[in-house]
Chain A
């Protein structure tokens, strides 16, 4: 078994797919994995692939031409997933996709298609949850800052809806785990960037813990529930504990 491995980026994954395809080894004899590879297996040969923009372009063009733009979007979302299987799932999907063409995205009865759909849904759901549950803190200077710790790399999906929502505000969303951020200066387009440890720390000091709207919101949130209908399990199924970490209304409840 030959295992093609690459770093965890969209470009690297597509390059990896290109190389695996071009190897002519036969699809049954190879596998794709994103690094770091967990348990190395004895009878496998690992081949690391570096991203190559010409190959990336060629794969993107083929997806658009032979399958559809819709399929491309799904693949892009899947590539942002935290699953270690994602490169292989995309690869298996493309094998079928290049064969069946556009209709492949209706063929959910095929396991590799289903696998891609499920991955896509997981990433889409996570991005949507953060769109609902992220909370901005008001910083001195009227800049809004939100922190998230997502499993998948959802920043690219979060930024456009917030740019539409608050086009004339200064805001940023920070992925605490990846130390990456989208920054949106008022009336301009957002951009992605990475933060150094110092920048990260400096931002913390600018937060305004006395923002009066924090308590107003908590008060509202507690009041709005109807006692005789109290149902914590239902609440938990909608807003899992894991998403509450940065949600204002779940931090230090009012006395």
Chain B
């Protein structure tokens, strides 16, 4: 808890420091990382805490991103309408996809969630009215009112940071609740959970829908952030990226999704924007192969840190 607060104090100070050196690029970049942190945290609820290996989480980010973008494109710029619409759309998508997928187990579950997400990907590709495969540029970000201009990078940063804090606190609370205990119990021993009287399917579906709703909010924020949405937010590579974030950061660890988002996006950025002269001398095109670097880090984490980076950090504290 103390650590979480310390991290948030640093995060609160970050834009001030960046403004002081007049570097708003990094404020905007940090907003993007935080939005991904929210999305990865929501996946961690399903994947880490719930033990459901969903390979289609990008569908819910995408549902939210498109719902929010369509609102703005249709002239409804208020975040108070657009974001709840995004949450509702992604929750509905999660309910539909979950209701079918959760009747399967193991590899079938992985494949069916992937298949649904790809269907959603092709669906938005065919929505010609909203840009089809070229995507939909937005005239502006959502409007929050309250005297807060989301067009301002610093304001936007604080708003997404607020939602990350809310997501993490919510996840922490939910996991202490009756519902959270049941979700973990199902992950640990599904047959026994049912045999002590727990309707496993309903709890898993509820968990899936909650995670989908939060992912939808992240999608809405993502669309506003870039003032643009395109079908790639639903592409299976995005689902895979979110999974990598969770695995890197720590499966079933409160901060796992956030740490994974920070490390993965940070790594990608560093590899592609800060060329190492000595490495470039050997392999001139290496920044285009940033994925290789990410893959190596991933391999190291999986081999040496089964609870991800969050697990490493908390073990060191224990020692």
Chains A and B are bound partners: no
